[in-house]
Amino acid sequence: MSRLSRRRLLTRSASGLFGVGAVALLAACGAGASSAVPATTSSSQAAASTAPSSSAASTSTASAARSTAAATSAAAGGKVQLHFYSSGDVNIQQLWNNDLLPIWNKQHPNAPIQLIFSEHGATDQAVIDKLAGAKAAGKPTDIDLFEGGNNLRTYGEKGIFVKLTTADVPDLSKTPPDVVAEIGSYGVPYRASSVVLAYNSAFVKDPPTTLDGVYAWVKANKGKFTYNPPDTGGSGGDFVQATLEKFIPKADLKTFETSYDPSLEKEWDPGFALLKSLGPYVLNGGFYPKGNVPVLQELGKQTVYVAPVWSDMGLSYLAQKLLPDTVKLEQITPPFSGGAAYLGVPTGSQHQDWSFKFLQWVLQPDQQTVIIDKINGYPGLEWKYMPGTVRQKFAALAKSYDTFSFSSKFSSDVNKLWYEKVAGTPSPAKQ
């Protein structure tokens, strides 16, 4: 389970249609090319053959692009139109269109931003392929801002996105360093969420505050805890990951996160054994709801009193009265994992100076508070830079989160082995 793929921070779907605006923007990105989206293979090959692969080359390319973009924008003068590509669930579209961009556009009438939105990220790869194609052709793009995750680092290292510094975005220094490092500095974290522990205070007077405490509570309160299988959602997936990570030697953690060596998977055996031992104490003697939402529903029905959940989903359910108001959320010590959504700047943008100003603007406490209020996300800033009223409101959650996650191949193996070693059933992929 990769935290950034959870719902690509708010669910991804493989299906969907291009909106009219997205098609128009894709055509513009081609700088004269056909409006049809090119095949992924050909565009990716073009990017691989022309884009710098080393970090030094990438930084050099980004610096040159900065200078060119700033000069172009300055020379043009007057009003400029920025295009911002974003994707996710409809709540993210509403956050930008209804809450944040109207404020920016009113405050910056000479640099209004138009949102190009793809629900569930259906056009993410097509847009990136267009950016790669434009770069290969040595032409500018009409995309000035791009919301993404791991793809920003993947393609940033190929020279398609700017490697950001505090010279570009001064308040980048106020964001969690490990969160920025995770993306290689190719994006600014502007919102985040993490897995937390939900508990019903009507029945749990002394909630566990550590992972070992959770295990002990589960065995002392038979049938009142559950989590979802790791392949069905990140909340249960991170509970499994945290348990496995607990027994991995520190020297091997980097390999588990960035590479793949199946011979190391024997280090998971103690973790899987522990999870197996919890089975008889889980809801109905071993019932694992298939998804983040079904776990929340069990909390809502009060069939369980404790469960790992996503912070933003838990807060949203509480706000909608879908959970009893006695349900509380807390981060344990050491914390469960979390992840951020990032904003990046294409190297081919002709208005990078304005893009950098926008990133700086998004990181201001006023805008960060809007994000927290509207989508129940964590701020991109470190909590200590948020207003005291916000920190107090989220005191149980206003902590750092673990940024560790297994690489995709290790994650796939975790999913398969969990069914075999914990649930005692074949993996759904084999059925």
| One-letter amino acid for residue 60 of the chain | S
Do β-strands 113-119 and 82-88 pair in parallel, antiparallel, or remain unpaired? parallel
Between the CA of residue 323 and those of 96, 200, 310, what are the distances in Å? 27, 9, 14
Please give the Cα distance from 12 to 393 (Å, whole number): 30
pLDDT, residue 35, reads: 29
Give yes or no for a contact between 172 and 188, defined as CB atoms under 8 angstroms apart: yes
pLDDT digits 0-9 by tens, 389-431:
999 888 899 888 999 999 999 999 999 999 999 999 888 866 5
CB atoms within 10 A of CB 3: 28
- pLDDT value at 73 more than 90: no
- pLDDT value at 65 more than 90: no
Please give the Cα distance from 295 to 333 (Å, whole number): 22
Architecture of the domain spanning 3-187+345-363: 3-Layer(aba) Sandwich (3.40)
Between the CA of residue 154 and those of 158, 177, 178, 330, what are the distances in Å? 7, 19, 17, 33
Per-residue three-class SS string for 331-361: CCCCCCEEEEEEEECECCECCHHHHHHHHHH
pLDDT, residue 29, reads: 46
Task: Give CA torsion, residues 348, 168, 70, 22, to 10 deg.
Answer: 40
Is the fold of 3-187+345-363 the same as that of 193-338+402-430?
Answer: yes
- How open is the CA angle 267-269-273, to the nearest 5 degrees? 150
Nearest CA among 146, 138, 36, 100 for reference residue 362? 100
Task: Give CA torsion, residues 74, 112, 168, 170, to 10 deg.
Answer: 130
Nearest CA among 42, 202, 37 for reference residue 124? 37
pLDDT, residue 386, reads: 96
Domain extents in the chain: 3-187+345-363, 193-338+402-430
The residue-averaged pLDDT of 19-48 equals: 37
Higher pLDDT, 295 or 75: 295
When mean pLDDT is compared across 22-36, 166-180, 225-239, 387-401, the lowest value belongs to: 22-36
- Which residues, in sequence order, are CB contacts of 357 under 8 Å at separation 6+? 108, 111
pLDDT digits 0-9 by tens, 336-363:
999 999 999 999 999 999 999 999 999 9
Nearest CA among 289, 331, 341, 367 for reference residue 103? 367
Nearest CA among 353, 346, 342 for reference residue 29? 346
Please give the Cα distance from 284 to 413 (Å, whole number): 26
Please give the Cα distance from 54 to 114 (Å, whole number): 33
pLDDT, residue 431, reads: 56
pLDDT, residue 1, reads: 39
Nearest CA among 134, 139, 88, 145 for reference residue 111? 145
Nearest CA among 365, 320, 262 for reference residue 91? 320
Architecture of the domain spanning 193-338+402-430: 3-Layer(aba) Sandwich (3.40)
- pLDDT value at 185 more than 70: yes
- pLDDT value at 10 more than 90: no
Please give the Cα distance from 212 to 5 (Å, whole number): 27
- pLDDT value at 174 more than 80: yes
pTM: 0.79
Please give the Cα distance from 275 to 146 (Å, whole number): 40
Per the prediction, the chain carries an average pLDDT of 85
The residue-averaged pLDDT of 254-258 equals: 94
pLDDT, residue 77, reads: 59
Q: What would the two tokens of residue 207 be?
A: 């909630």
- pLDDT value at 148 more than 50: yes
pLDDT, residue 120, reads: 80
- Paired with 88 in beta bridges are 119
pLDDT digits 0-9 by tens, 90-124:
889 999 999 999 999 999 999 999 999 998 888 99
| One-letter amino acid for residue 197 of the chain | L
pLDDT, residue 66, reads: 54
Q: Which of 43-52, 114-123, 165-174 has the highest mean pLDDT?
A: 165-174
The residue-averaged pLDDT of 151-161 equals: 96
